[in-house]
Each structure stands twice: as C-alpha cells, then as structure tokens.
Amino acid sequence: MTAEDFSQKADVVRLLLETEGRVMLCLDASHPGVAVPRRFVADRGLRLVLNRNMPQPIDIGPLTIESELRFGGIPHYCVIPYEAVWGVFNPDTRHGMFWSESMPDEIRARHGLEEAAVHLPEPTPVPGSSAPLAETAKTAKTPSPPRVALRVIEGDGAAETPTTAVKRPRPNLRLVD
C-alpha cells in the first residue's frame, strides 16, 4: 500500500465522522501492528465502531487510527494500521467505501466476491457517480482493482435514527459482604 492509499482511508474516516458522526471500521485484526483485545486477534472480519461523541480522543494519524475503545465495558487502547482496514462505512446510512485489495481472501470468499454474482447488499451510490461505493469490492476478481477517488457524501450530517430502541437486559447486582 502507498501513502496515498493510507491518506484516502484516513480521509474517508474523517469525512464520515465529521458529517455523519459514526463510522464502522472493518479490519483484519490478525494483520501485524493491530492492537485489539486478545480474544479478537484472529478475527479477519473485526468491526469496530467510532463515534465523534466518544469521550476519549480518536487519533486519525498518517499511518494508524488510535483510540481507547471499550469491549464489554472494559477499556482497551487500540491501534489500527490502515493496511489492516478493508472497509469504512456508516451502518445507518450505508455511506462508505471498501478496498478489495486490503480485504482478506476468506472474507471475499465468505461473501461470494470471487464469484460473478455478489451477495452483499448494495451501498448507497455516491452523488455524481453511477457506481456504488463498494464498486472496488465487486471488482475483486480483476487482477488490479481500480482506485476509487474520495468523493463527497451527500447529506446534512444528520444520520437517520432508528425508530425502535434496543432494550437491554437489566444487570443483576447483589450485595457481597
């Protein structure tokens, strides 16, 4: 990967955080340099959510994204090199990008991206383009996938909020003497 590829991924993360407030990173946690909790180290399809309203800072640097994230309420300082990132999107609006050249082979195979028919849902098209954002993921079969330029994402920055709230079970607390 080149510095331009890293810059493109950083720009997409920044743009989605600034305009939509929430970003899901799809990454290969087994890639060298990734720092996540031990139980996720072998996960080649790990998804981490970043939110601009998180109380801790998110460092979107030239080579990595770094922040203290919570896993089951337990904080863990995470380092995510751009080489390990193969997708960045907002799960609510489906705006984002996928980089097929960074996607692990088993993820491509799991979603049928090696076959002619792609089984992933279509992301929202980018304004001013007839191609969907995941066009690079669909072209995984070609020897050298085309580079997708960063494009402006349409919207006023307000992501749609789900109408049904997820009800979480109440924790069981007891007094221990």
20-38 pLDDT, tens per residue?
999 999 999 999 999 999 9
pLDDT in tens, 47-100: 999 998 988 999 999 999 999 999 999 999 999 999 999 999 998 888 999 888
Report the CATH number that the domain containing residue 136 is assigned in CATH.
Answer: 2.30.30.220
Residue 168 to residue 138: CA distance in whole angstroms: 36
Q: Is 45 part of a structural domain of the chain?
A: yes
Q: Is 154 part of a structural domain of the chain?
A: no
Print the domain residue range for 132.
3-141
Give 34's Cβ-side CA count (13 Å radius).
25
Neighbours of 37 (CB within 10 A): 13
Q: Is 165 part of a structural domain of the chain?
A: no
Q: Is 76 part of a structural domain of the chain?
A: yes
Q: Is 39 part of a structural domain of the chain?
A: yes
Residue 10 to residue 5: CA distance in whole angstroms: 9
Neighbours of 138 (CB within 10 A): 17
Q: Is 123 part of a structural domain of the chain?
A: yes
Q: Is 58 part of a structural domain of the chain?
A: yes
153 or 93, which is more confident:
93
Most confident of 4-8, 28-32, 123-127: 28-32
Question: Largest Cα–Cα distance in the chain?
Answer: 65
Q: Is 41 part of a structural domain of the chain?
A: yes
Write down the pTM of the prediction. 0.62
**The total number of structural domains that make up the chain:** 1
